[in-house]
Structure 1
Amino acid sequence: MITRRTLLKTTAGSLAALGASLVGADRLMFPKLENKADGSRVYDYVYGMPKSEAIEFVLTNMSEDGRFCFGTSEFYFSKDLIPEVPQAVFGEHNTGVDMTVIGQPYDQSLWQAIACGAYMGRAKNHECVLFVSPQWFFKGNGSRSNFTGLFNYELYRAFCQNTMISGELKATIRQHVLNLGIDAGTVAAANQDTPADALNDLQKHEQNTLRIRSELEKMVAGAPSKSRERTINYYTSEPDWETLLAQASDEGANRCTNNDFGIYDSYWTRNSHFSPEQNQTFDQAEDEWGELNLFFQVAQECGASTLVVMLPMHGPWYDRVGVPQETRDGYYQRLRDATDTAGVTCADFSLFEYERYFFADTVHPGWRGWVHIERAIYHFIMGQDDDCLGGWGYGTATAEGLDDMRGAKGDV
């Protein structure tokens, strides 16, 4: 008769053999993620998946000047539409700053906290940047309910293995993950609660690694080639911000011809009647505010110096859909208070709501917006003053954007 103990030993042995075979198979079929990739390309600005979950690949191939920038769809836009995006301003030059972007559409605070824990314990540089969108704090906690579909096992696994993060904070985030619908067995595997969970973790990890490695060639091909400046390692110092702003105004004017909102033409044609911002009050997202604070705690325990980019609301658009200035100002102040309490710096763009071409659409940074954001990030990393920087180490931000879109009505 086979006893229960014998059965368990046999099962464990079989699982171990399966795990070993998976490890051997993927290492024979595909290159290791920790290997150096094609050195003629820049990988920091590749956006989305599988790059953001390819932890070893990212850490091995990121720029020596790279700082992790956690965000969502603002990183989607290419220089074909907006020539002032970070890939061009930083990625094509040697300024001493690169933005190693991590994220995908609809990620919010909890996802970002996990990603921060996955990466910042092993980061080359201690500064990190979090892009915070007003949409996270729409009624019902924004898109927080999408977490189940966005949850990434590899990032959560690496978060759990980060010894810089306290057991108490790991337990808190674990409970949030469970509350949002992630299977308890999956969570136990990532935490390696038992020997069986550890074997389950190995199997999941090797399957994910095999998948990521199979997509590596496509990931590499999607990375931009190094400019001559980077190839010969020619240092170009700080970008000429005023020249970039003038260029941005010209580019924006060329792209925005069918509306008075500074929105690029094809977006306006498709979405001018789409208004999820309508009736938003920013007072029904307590879970999201709590998870934003979890991000700050993770970053602090990882020894990171954090900059929050406070993305503003599109003033004329929010006027159009009936969200009053008082409501918007209340959101901005709460975010300032949150960053002050956490002891982090804030790039405050709340007074840029009415600057034409700050936005490309109703949500995302555009031509002038990216220049302002990049300048603030550059000065934060370099330890320099900037009128847009406030909070820890800087006091109150004093910058005001142009006021050349107030009263905009719509079509032209």
Structure 2
Amino acid sequence: MKMKKKLWNIFGPVLLAGLLVFIAFFVANQFTTVNKATEKRAAVSLSTNVYKGSIVKSQALKDGYVPFFGSSELSRMDPFHPSALAKKYHRNYQPFLLGNPGTQSLSHLIQMQGMKQQLKNKKVVFIISPQWFTKQGQSPQAYSLYNSPIGTTQWLLHAHDSQMTRYTAKRILAMNENSNSGAAHRALINLASGKKVTKTQLMQLNVEATMLNSEDKLFSSFVSGKREAKIDGNQNKLPKQDNFKMLTKSANQMAAKATDDNPFGISNNFFNHRLAKGNKLAKLQGSQSHFNYLQSPEYADFELVLAQFAKWNVDPIFVITPVNQKWMKYTGLSNDMYQKADQKIKYQLNSQGFNHVVDLSKDGGKKYFMEDTIHLGWNGWLAMDQKVSPFLQTKQNQPTYQIQDKFLSKEWQQAE
């Protein structure tokens, strides 16, 4: 009896924990649903779990939400933010925001694998910043933070050998240099070298996919409503009519009050809390004179996204963002370099059939266009809305793409 008691004391808690996990996953698979309230919260939550997951995004897209891919600019939620405008004026689309500081092309490529069926033949908005195109490109730390195991597993389960596949596998491995175990890692090594994923690896990946999807279902409804409340509050500050002239007047009035206490014409709150403290502002003067966005692995990562859009027949509209012109001058960031990077991005898009491009790169000096040093606000959001809203609300001609592997090359990544 004593031996049985000892064995139970050792293994009992483990068995109970395993049983509880099994029950939790069983309940999640059987009873978890994504209701409309969860979709509304998730659409503007910018939740990392939602971004990395699948079930909430997939259900929302089925119900008509439109993906807005981007990064930190999506969190600048003034009253003229796309989500506030769409909600206030009952447009026939509602943005589903997908991005955070540090999310770039490779992060987006992987997380979108979990909503493949919902993206096929649909429109999307893709906000891209030339500032993604640094010498390093995607930060491994940021990639790790936003890495979607569900997306990675789905990509591996459907991967076939090609130049795109080999390059993608190598890039994912480079982002996870400290990981050297597991079926996913072994499968990535195979694909990177042009080999197939083995039957054993596929079996293990399918088991992992089942577990990951169950976990996603279990936690999918836990989404904060903080940003939804902010959007609701902001839309109440907008004019009753969806009229550009009235919206511009309102934007100018709000922005004038919000930017009257700093030399850059940006949000006083941002200036006082992020720049004016200590000696930070003085240290930043001339600090970006050496920046170069023309040579970067991000150009090839971006190409992976374009190839995926083409394969799924997605119709995207791209928005290229500016930098506050006064800030650019203060930090020494080269406008000539910035415009060349903009032209390089547009060439990569247009030469492959991606012709819906909203180029705002030259507008950083316009009044009340930028909320802070690098992010759209007030009139910036309205300028974007003038192009994006008609694109989403009217039928577009079927795009024809000509994907070119040359945009994966080192030559293109380094071309100036």
Q: TM-score, normalized by length of structure 1?
A: 0.75
The equivalent of 2:295 in structure 1 is 284
The equivalent of 2:222 in structure 1 is 218
> Is 1:197 matched up with 2:201?
yes
The CA deviation at 1:52 is: 1.5
RMSD: 3.7
Q: Which structure 2 residues correspond to residues 315-354 of structure 1 after superposition, within 5 A?
A: 315-344=325-354, 345-354=356-365
Q: Check the 8 A contact 1:340/1:392 in 2, yes or no.
A: no
Q: Which structure 2 residues correspond to residues 10-21 of structure 1 after superposition, within 5 A?
A: none
Number of aligned pairs? Answer: 358
The equivalent of 1:109 in structure 2 is 105
Q: Check the 8 A contact 2:154/2:209 in 1, yes or no.
A: no
The equivalent of 2:6 in structure 1 is none
The equivalent of 1:400 in structure 2 is none
The CA deviation at 1:340 is: 1.0
Q: Check the 8 A contact 2:58/2:114 in 1, yes or no.
A: no
Q: Which structure 2 residues correspond to residues 57-206 of structure 1 after superposition, within 5 A?
A: 57-62=56-61, 64-78=63-77, 82-123=78-119, 126-141=122-137, 143=139, 146-161=142-157, 167-168=161-162, 169-181=164-176, 183=179, 185=182, 186-188=184-186, 193-194=197-198, 196-198=200-202, 200-201=204-205, 204-205=208-209
**By percentage of residues, which structure has more helix?**
2
The equivalent of 2:47 in structure 1 is 48
Alignment CA distance shift 1:59-1:378 (3 Å): same
The equivalent of 1:36 in structure 2 is 35
CA deviation digits over 1:148-189, x for unaligned, max 9? Answer: 343221122233456xx7642334312211122253533446
> Is 1:253 matched up with 2:264?
no
Runs of 5+ consecutive residues of structure 1 not aligned to the other structure: 1-17, 228-236, 386-390, 394-412
The equivalent of 2:410 in structure 1 is none
Q: Check the 8 A contact 2:41/2:228 in 1, yes or no.
A: yes
The CA deviation at 1:314 is: 1.5
Q: Which structure 2 residues correspond to residues 205-244 of structure 1 after superposition, within 5 A?
A: 205=209, 208-209=212-213, 211-213=215-217, 215-219=219-223, 221-222=225-226, 224=228, 239-244=242-247
Q: Check the 8 A contact 2:318/2:357 in 1, yes or no.
A: yes
Shifted more, 85-94 versus 60-69: the winner is 60-69
Alignment CA distance shift 1:141-1:40 (3 Å): closer
The CA deviation at 1:209 is: 4.5
Runs of 5+ consecutive residues of structure 2 not aligned to the other structure: 1-16, 233-239, 276-280, 402-416
Distance of 1:370 and 1:392 partners within structure 2: 29
Amino-acid identity (%) = 16
Q: Check the 8 A contact 1:19/1:206 in 2, yes or no.
A: no
Q: Check the 8 A contact 2:38/2:223 in 1, yes or no.
A: no
Alignment CA distance shift 1:151-1:171 (3 Å): same
The CA deviation at 1:348 is: 0.6
Alignment CA distance shift 1:288-1:42 (3 Å): same
CA deviation digits over 1:105-138, x for unaligned, max 9? Answer: 2011111222334324323761112111122113
The equivalent of 2:304 in structure 1 is 294
Which amino acid in structure 2 is aligned with residue 310 of structure 1? I
